[in-house]
Amino acid sequence: MSTMVIDEILDQLKFLPYELQWRVLEFTRALALSVPRGVPGHRLLRFAGAIPLDDVQRMRQAIEQGCEQVDVNEW
């Protein structure tokens, strides 16, 4: 993480009223919670091929039949 950005944020915070400093703190906490979490792809490779091919084909067909249709009167 760049300390330059952190230093700039701290410099700006010094000029904000106390209430706005709290809002910034709450905002940064909310941002920290919104960061996507997951696992690296290489850790998922052990699951490759776990679903039988005929099941994959049935899933593909269901998606093509049910998800690739547009209802122009929907809205």
The tally of domains found in the chain comes to: 1
The parent domain of residue 28 ranges over 3-34
The model's pTM is: 0.46
Q: List average pLDDT for each run of 10 residues in the chain, which is 75 residues long.
A: 88 95 95 88 92 93 78 74
- Give a yes or no: residue 51 inside a domain: no
pLDDT of residue 37: 83
Written as six digits, the tokens of 21 are: 């400093």
**Are 5 and 13 spatial neighbours (Cβ–Cβ below 8 Å)?**
no
Nearest by Cα to 23 from 12, 34, 36: 12
